[in-house]
Structure 1
């Protein structure tokens, strides 16, 4: 998720520790007013929903690269995912809760590691499980937006070099073909990848994260994973050679798009990118342009040739000077994920995307980590108000999907961050719908703000 860029900055945490003590709707002065001024109805058929990712929510994804790295010594992960929030078993309940609020869309991912746990061997049982998930959406009138890959790959894929290895794109396209043939007729929208630009977004230009892209602990983790698998070349997600990973992903998107469309030509297929509201300060315009050329433009170009829509995933802004990414202002309100509270960022990133790519836009992730739900409500109101303003400007925005439906496993940060509209007691897996879910649901039912 795009929120990772700020959470990775451990040295900033003491500085930013003021966080939730100041929480509440008052943290966003004028938030409701801004939303009201944006006003009006949204287009008919507008998608309103929430998202999860397989590895983060399902649990026990034991054949994946992420599971393997979580349990490698040393590990960059704060804690292992374990049973996550047991969504693999409780998916029907979770989708039912989403529907009960008034939302109409569920975004989720199919886990490649479950479908193809061993290279060339595809699990009918896993495919049938995802058929059940899709049917659970359909019986409630919920649109299904499916990501074919949300960061995580099979362990065998990572052990052969991941996206850096020759033939990686072809292997991914083969998997996409299998899934599309089995399940494509039940999908409403699909994305090949979730945030394939994340490494470039995190480490493309100088900033507080400098040095974390190739730190000794990460190198040792990958080396030990390579030894344990017997290949010596483990590469996964943001752990590896970014240039080679990006090349593999770009080719993978093109081949996967073609494979999916060959099976179901009418299925809208795109991808989602992480994007921040990049604001130049103190003469940082050239650095902003450099960041955009590195982090976003290759994917805009990829979608021009192979894409029916783009998913925009925004959480906050970044202040960029001529020296790179700056820390948030001293007076900024900081969330529990150590990010500046800045919901206005979404409007800016939608406008930037629309200026650079003439495709329909869906907001496929947007949210805030907080244990104060009043803060989340105010964030949603302002962010959705920004979407309304974009629509009034004639921008083709077709959906708002919140991250996340459920508090879940947040990658290397474990279970600390809380982005969910639904809370979970992980000792019992009992779900509790938060008031923010009903606020978003009310907007969805009215199809307007």
Structure 2
């Protein structure tokens, strides 16, 4: 129910923001494994990222549009490959670039929330197996510590890894999660010649080289390695900035049991979510990224009803999933929650607003019931490169002209900004 007397149940200092990721928006991120894979024959990517949104040069405009709308938080990623183009070689110029992004946020009255790994890894780490490399935890922690040291006290909120649980949700749960259907399918169908060409581009053996995508974090060893990577990264960040708030972001599909699917649903929730949420119990917060639900019968996923409203991705538009996932995360992790992604891929901006309104109402209800939620960060600020789907999916609050890079705000940005200005009172 709405709060009485026009009071907001959202806590003071609530983070209202939007998110982007470096590879999806910056453009010409040429030193990553992803860039290499985008440019081989029979690539699983429908098109290369190319210039993306040219946000490497236009970040100040993006931050200004976000702030002018009324949002107070910008989640963006630092690209590991730019900062450490070769192992042990750190670029002061690139660290300064990202520090300028941080300062642009602060100058605009916006809280910077920094993601240190949003899917992509340097080509040199892809060469040695990415997250299958036993040295990955140490290497990742070294990089995170260097970034946090360079940023000093200018950044408080850090997300170490973005959605590291996708591979576990797929393989240990025995199904493809709706939140990663497109990307998981593309990786699973990877042509052997494309893998060989990719390995050649990054200078590795086809049996060893890995893209670094979280959907490939599938074996028990790799899952434990990425957990250790997070723990070591957190320690390195805290050493550089003891006041930092550190967590990681998890893809949490709202799994719902249907007609005998309770046992399988429980297995998938444990394998794909809860085992990672328990790691978050050691953190300052857990990032929740939810878009839809997946109904589970005794034999596996139940198809989306034909009459359901769907995303451009084919996922069911089920905004109630957010409140359910936030409750799940808080119960298992026992730490504050920040919604680090939620939104809708659609060309219909009114549908985006309707979806987001219902999702925020569910979030408000969870807060009223005592769940400690510190922020809501929408995915995404800009229509951008959506991985294997290329530029076909439009999640953004702002459209971007593919030729001129001109930004055009959508009504949804102003609507969400108005919600933020009143700290949720307008819901």
TM-score w.r.t. length of structure 1: 0.89
Residue 302 of structure 2: aligned partner: 326
Residue 21 of structure 1: aligned partner: none
**Structure 1 residue 154 and structure 2 residue 93: aligned?**
no
Match of 2:103 among 123, 135, 152: 135
8 A Cα contact 1:147 1:191, kept in partner: yes
Residue 290 of structure 1: aligned partner: 267
**Structure 1 residue 301 and structure 2 residue 278: aligned?**
yes
Instruction: Write the deviation string for residues 47-74 of structure 1: whole angstroms up to 9, x where unpaired.
Output: 1000000000000000011101111222
Residue 151 of structure 2: aligned partner: 183
For 2:4 and 2:257, the matched residues in 1 are separated by 27
8 A Cα contact 2:26 2:52, kept in partner: yes
Where 1:447 maps in the other structure, the secondary structure is coil
**Structure 1 residue 281 and structure 2 residue 261: aligned?**
no
Q: Taking CA–CA contacts closer than 8 Å with sequence separation of 6 or more, which of the two structures ends up with the larger relative contact order?
A: 1
Alpha-carbon distance change, 48 to 62 in structure 1, aligned in 2, over 3 angstroms: same
Residue 60 of structure 2: aligned partner: 92
* 422-431 vs 320-329, which moves further: 320-329
Residue 194 of structure 2: aligned partner: 221
For 1:156 and 1:38, the matched residues in 2 are separated by 57
Residue 234 of structure 1: aligned partner: 209
**Structure 1 residue 251 and structure 2 residue 228: aligned?**
yes
For 1:136 and 1:206, the matched residues in 2 are separated by 44
* CA shift for structure 1 position 404: 0.1
Residue 76 of structure 1: aligned partner: 44
**Structure 1 residue 120 and structure 2 residue 120: aligned?**
no
* CA shift for structure 1 position 216: 5.1
Residue 22 of structure 2: aligned partner: 54
8 A Cα contact 1:134 1:186, kept in partner: yes
* CA shift for structure 1 position 296: 1.0
**Structure 1 residue 366 and structure 2 residue 342: aligned?**
yes
* CA shift for structure 1 position 231: 2.1
For 1:394 and 1:153, the matched residues in 2 are separated by 38
* CA shift for structure 1 position 339: 1.1
8 A Cα contact 2:383 2:395, kept in partner: yes
Alpha-carbon distance change, 36 to 406 in structure 1, aligned in 2, over 3 angstroms: farther
RMSD of equivalent CA atoms: 1.9
Alpha-carbon distance change, 423 to 288 in structure 1, aligned in 2, over 3 angstroms: same
Residue 317 of structure 1: aligned partner: 293
* CA shift for structure 1 position 39: 7.5
Residue 110 of structure 1: aligned partner: 78
Where 1:297 maps in the other structure, the secondary structure is helix
For 2:131 and 2:74, the matched residues in 1 are separated by 28
* 412-421 vs 184-193, which moves further: 184-193
For 1:84 and 1:111, the matched residues in 2 are separated by 14
TM-score w.r.t. length of structure 2: 0.93
* CA shift for structure 1 position 186: 1.2
* 218-227 vs 157-166, which moves further: 218-227
Where 1:242 maps in the other structure, the secondary structure is coil
Instruction: Write the deviation string for residues 379-420 of structure 1: whole angstroms up to 9, x where unpaired.
Output: 111111111101110110110100000000000110000000
**Structure 1 residue 427 and structure 2 residue 403: aligned?**
yes
Where 1:82 maps in the other structure, the secondary structure is coil
Alpha-carbon distance change, 405 to 365 in structure 1, aligned in 2, over 3 angstroms: same
Residue 264 of structure 1: aligned partner: 241
Alpha-carbon distance change, 219 to 396 in structure 1, aligned in 2, over 3 angstroms: farther
8 A Cα contact 1:35 1:381, kept in partner: no
8 A Cα contact 1:36 1:385, kept in partner: no
Residue 25 of structure 1: aligned partner: none
* CA shift for structure 1 position 214: 6.7
Alpha-carbon distance change, 443 to 270 in structure 1, aligned in 2, over 3 angstroms: same
* 403-412 vs 158-167, which moves further: 158-167
* CA shift for structure 1 position 120: 1.0
8 A Cα contact 2:45 2:186, kept in partner: no
8 A Cα contact 1:169 1:249, kept in partner: yes
Where 2:190 maps in the other structure, the secondary structure is helix
